[in-house]
């Protein structure tokens, strides 16, 4: 065989190896199972270091402790009529006020004190919308009160409806709104039955699209059962379910939300936030309290240190996973652990939603889910301000 013949044989062998290798790779790819969110486990300790804000590259502002500061609060509930009765603890008889005198101190840096005038100047002509459940309502009312305290004589416009309420600082063209949708995904009434549509956002999205800053939250309503449950059945992929694992349902709903954001949000115009899960304090054993208390009633101060001895919400594992998979940059306002330390910040029985008779039985009637205003949500907004 001549030199040309040898070369042809070698060339054929090389081509055979390339084709065989390619076919093997294609075969391996075809055998991989498609991703299935229901197979992912979010249970257990899902603690992930909170996202470091873009303006503080070396400091995690969500890791720190609470320190006393008598210069707080920056507003009084009596001067902010927007506060709902359920959050207005001082008006409804809370006897202590020390819980108002704390500030959040990150371990490795300082965060700016909230400046309402600076906020309005930076956001002039823009819109901010909180979207979610009553914890989003809590934060929205807090931010309006904080800004209003800085410009008490500024002309404003306030409209309150369900699902959309808004507060506009007319001189600055800044609108701060709240859109109530506890699950973020659609819920429809069909023949008198409420159907939670895990793979649909059609009713609300058109209102969100043109807002400059969107801050979403969801979580608490997904675990409610019995009379507190907000739906009668779930729909997913055209099938109806009477119930399913609530963490799986939350994951499916959150991925529908993330797909909506990735498809509809113009990142050159709109910035997206997601608020971490706001904790509840119904079990004093979580914070090693042996006093005999049954819930947050009677708590007057925060826990010391940087960590909470109780469990970390499983839902945070879902939220962190979904945000990691998104194309749209989404800032996690990771307020969970710093809020877990504030067992003293809830209304308990000092809420306009608690009747005089119910206040006689704080073990059964205390609200240890929402937060007093002024109070903890003011710190959420201070962190929001530091990152915006």
Q: 122-143 pLDDT, tens per residue?
A: 999 999 999 999 999 999 999 9
Asked if 82 and 45 touch (Cβ cutoff 8 Å), the reply is: no
* pLDDT computed for residue 203 by the predictor: 75
Q: Give the DSSP H or E segment for 387.
A: helix 376-387
Q: What is the pLDDT averaged over residues 80-104?
A: 97
Q: Distance (Å, rounded) from C-alpha 65 to C-alpha 63?
A: 7
Cis before residue 238, ω within 30 degrees of 0? Answer: no
Model-level pTM? 0.86
- Output Rg (C-alpha) for the chain, integer angstroms: 25
Tell me the CATH number at 107: 3.40.50.1110
Based on the residue annotation, tell me whether 370 is a catalytic residue of this protein.
yes
Tokens encoding 65: 């402790």
Residues for the chain: how many in total? Answer: 388
Based on the residue annotation, tell me whether 367 is a catalytic residue of this protein.
yes
- Of the candidates 133, 186, 251, 367, the residue annotated as catalytic is 367
Burial (CB < 10 A; 0-12, 13-18, 19+), residue 382, is buried
* pLDDT computed for residue 17 by the predictor: 46
**Total structural domains within the chain:** 1
Does 48 score more than 50 pLDDT? no
- Of the candidates 77, 127, 134, 321, the residue annotated as catalytic is 134
Tokens encoding 316: 């945070």
Does 250 score more than 80 pLDDT? yes
- Of the candidates 142, 166, 370, 378, the residue annotated as catalytic is 370
Q: Is residue 18 part of a domain?
A: no
Q: Is residue 183 part of a domain?
A: yes
* pLDDT computed for residue 120 by the predictor: 98
Q: Is residue 29 part of a domain?
A: no
Q: Is residue 377 part of a domain?
A: yes
Q: Is residue 20 part of a domain?
A: no
DSSP string, 100-138: GSEEEEESSS--PPP-HHHHHHHTTT-EEEEEESHHHHH
- Enter the DSSP assignment of 86: G
Q: Is residue 37 part of a domain?
A: no
Q: 155-168 pLDDT, tens per residue?
A: 999 999 999 999 99
Q: Distance (Å, rounded) from C-alpha 5 to C-alpha 353?
A: 93
Based on the residue annotation, tell me whether 202 is a catalytic residue of this protein.
no
Q: Is residue 217 part of a domain?
A: yes
Residues β-bridged to residue 331: 273
Does 50 score more than 60 pLDDT? no
Q: Distance (Å, rounded) from C-alpha 135 to C-alpha 220?
A: 9
Tokens encoding 35: 């991703």
Range of the domain at 206: 60-387
Q: Is residue 8 part of a domain?
A: no
Neighbours of 206 (CB within 10 A): 9
């Amino acid at each position: 065989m001549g030199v040309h013949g040898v070369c042809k044989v070698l060339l054929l062998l090389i081509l055979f190896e390339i084709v065989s290798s390619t076919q093997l790779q294609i075969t391996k790819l075809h055998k991989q199972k498609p991703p299935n969110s229901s197979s992912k486990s979010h249970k257990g300790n899902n603690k992930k270091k909170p996202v470091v804000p873009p303006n503080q590259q070396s400091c995690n502002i969500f890791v720190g402790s609470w320190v006393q500061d008598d210069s707080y609060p920056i507003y009084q509930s009596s001067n902010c009529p927007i506060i709902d009765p359920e959050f207005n603890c001082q008006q409804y008889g809370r006897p202590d006020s020390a819980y108002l005198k704390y500030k959040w101190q990150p371990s490795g840096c300082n965060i700016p004190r909230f400046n309402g005038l600076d906020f309005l100047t930076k956001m002039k002509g823009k819109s901010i919308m909180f979207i979610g459940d009553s914890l989003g309502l809590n934060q929205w009312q807090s931010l309006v009160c904080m800004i209003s305290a800085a410009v008490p004589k500024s002309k404003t416009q306030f409209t309150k409806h369900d699902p959309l309420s808004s507060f506009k600082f007319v001189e600055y063209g800044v609108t701060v709104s709240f859109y109530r949708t506890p699950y973020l995904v659609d819920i429809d009434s069909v023949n008198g039955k409420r159907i939670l549509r895990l793979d649909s956002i059609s009713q609300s999205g058109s209102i969100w699209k043109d807002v400059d800053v969107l801050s979403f939250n969801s979580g608490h309503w997904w675990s409610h059962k019995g009379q507190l449950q907000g739906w009668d059945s779930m729909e997913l992929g055209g099938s109806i379910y009477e119930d399913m694992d609530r963490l799986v349902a939350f994951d499916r709903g959150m991925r529908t939300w993330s797909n909506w954001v990735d498809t509809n949000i113009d990142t050159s115009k709109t910035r997206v936030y997601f608020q971490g899960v706001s904790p509840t304090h119904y079990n004093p054993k979580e914070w090693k309290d042996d006093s005999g208390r049954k819930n947050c009633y009677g708590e007057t101060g925060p826990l010391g240190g940087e960590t909470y001895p109780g469990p970390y919400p499983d839902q945070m594992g879902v939220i962190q996973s979904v945000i990691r998979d998104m194309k749209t940059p989404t800032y996690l306002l990771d307020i969970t652990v710093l809020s877990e330390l504030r067992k003293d910040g809830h209304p308990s029985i000092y809420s306009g939603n608690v009747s005089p008779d119910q206040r006689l039985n704080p073990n059964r009637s205390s609200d240890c889910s929402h937060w007093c205003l002024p109070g903890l949500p003011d710190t959420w907004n201070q962190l929001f301000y530091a990152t915006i």
